[in-house]
Amino acid sequence: MNPVRLNRDRPKVPDLVPLILAVRSRPGGAVGCCLHVITDDPNYDCARWVLENLDPAHADCREAAEMMVQMTESQIARAVRRVWEIERSRRA
Q: What is the pLDDT of residue 1?
A: 47
- Under the banding of pLDDT at 50, 70 and 90, the label for residue 28 is confident
Quick one: pLDDT at residue 27? 83
pLDDT of residue 19: 94
Ramachandran region, residue 33 (left: φ > 0; alpha: ψ -120 to 50; beta: rest) = left
The predicted structure's pLDDT at residue 5: 57
This prediction's pTM: 0.85
Instruction: Tell me the average pLDDT across 66-72.
Output: 94
**Between these two residues, 92 and 72, which has the higher pLDDT value?**
72
Instruction: Give the span between the Cα atoms of 73 and 24, in whole angstroms.
Output: 20
